[in-house]
Amino acid sequence: MKELKYTLIADGSSDMTLLKIIKWSLDDLYPKVPNDGNFADFRQMPDPPKRLGDKVHRAKLYFPFDILFVHRDAESTNARMIAQRSQEINIELPEADIDKTICVVPIKMMETWLLIDEDAIKKAVGNRNYSGSINLPSLNTLERENQPKELLHAILREASGKRGRNLKKFNIDKAVHLVAENIEDFSPLRNLVAFKAFEDELKKVVDKYLEN
């Protein structure tokens, strides 16, 4: 079967972490469909594009895709923001690309989807024997967490066991990325409104692609 190629356009470089979650969903929902993904990193390009339409055009040249993922944070714990952000994305997209685009809109931000696995956090900070308490939000309350990024960062720093100068040297961005890399099962996210919306749209777009 032909390999499905996809590209992620995100708010910032740290959101490259979402590639792991996207790949997990594709592999889980379409295990017989080989896939390969890219992160559209425009930072090193001369005159990096700012508008989404320009980013899509540049992505077609440098990160060609069958399916496009566009990430924006909801920046709110209000689930209605998912539809609003998706509408904003679709308005900015070239019309020819709307049907092949999947909106990725976590509540409140990407880090919300990483607060689900204690073992992955311990591995990410290189302290698998950490015996302290890691107080992750329950799935029922996760999308009501006002500061998921700050919470994840605080948990990572505590679980690292580092103090003083060593803590100051601690690479928190790398640790966040490693949390995603060490989560083997993202299925708990299917209890979240935003992740359900993401996978519903993913299935609609991928099914249509496979029909052609």
CB 146 within 8 A of CB 138: no
* 64-84 pLDDT per residue, tens: 999 999 999 999 999 999 999
* 4-14 pLDDT per residue, tens: 999 999 978 78
Helices (H), the chain: 18-29, 52-62, 80-92, 118-124, 148-160, 164-169, 172-182, 193-211
Residues 155 and 207 both lie in one domain = no
For residue 120, what pLDDT band results from cuts at 50, 70 and 90?
A: very high
Question: Is residue 187 a part of any domain in this protein?
Answer: no
Whether residue 178 is predicted with pLDDT greater than 80 in this model: the reply is yes
Mean pLDDT across 171-200: 96
Looking at the structure of the chain, the number of domains it has is: 2
**What is the pLDDT at residue 206?**
97
| CB neighbourhood size of 55 (10 A) | 21
Residues 126 and 71 both lie in one domain = no
Mean pLDDT across 14-33: 96
Whether residue 2 is predicted with pLDDT greater than 90 in this model: the reply is no
> What is the average pLDDT score of the chain?
94
Mean pLDDT across 150-175: 93
Residues 77 and 103 both lie in one domain = yes
Residues 8 and 85 both lie in one domain = yes
Residues 154 and 53 both lie in one domain = no
**In one letter, which amino acid is 125?**
V
Residues 63 and 155 both lie in one domain = no
Q: How far apart are CA 203 and CA 78, in angstroms?
A: 24
* pTM of structure: 0.94
Mean pLDDT across 157-179: 92
Print the domain residue range for 99: 4-107+192-211
Whether residue 108 is predicted with pLDDT greater than 80 in this model: the reply is yes
Determine if the peptide bond prior to 108 is cis (ω within 30°).
yes
For residue 212, what pLDDT band results from cuts at 50, 70 and 90?
A: confident
Name the least confident of 46-50, 145-149, 187-191, 202-206: 46-50
Question: Is residue 26 a part of any domain in this protein?
Answer: yes
Residues 49 and 84 both lie in one domain = yes
Q: Specify the CATH number for the domain of residue 17.
A: 3.40.50
Residues 81 and 35 both lie in one domain = yes
**What is the pLDDT at residue 105?**
96
Whether residue 198 is predicted with pLDDT greater than 90 in this model: the reply is yes
Give CA angle at 172 (170, 173), nearest 5°.
135
DSSP H or E stretch at residue 137: none
Residues 87 and 162 both lie in one domain = no
Residues 32 and 102 both lie in one domain = yes
Mean pLDDT across 76-101: 94
Q: For the sheet containing 4-9, what is the strand order?
A: 35-39, 4-9, 67-71, 101-104
Whether residue 196 is predicted with pLDDT greater than 80 in this model: the reply is yes
Residues 124 and 101 both lie in one domain = no
Residues 69 and 156 both lie in one domain = no
Whether residue 133 is predicted with pLDDT greater than 90 in this model: the reply is no
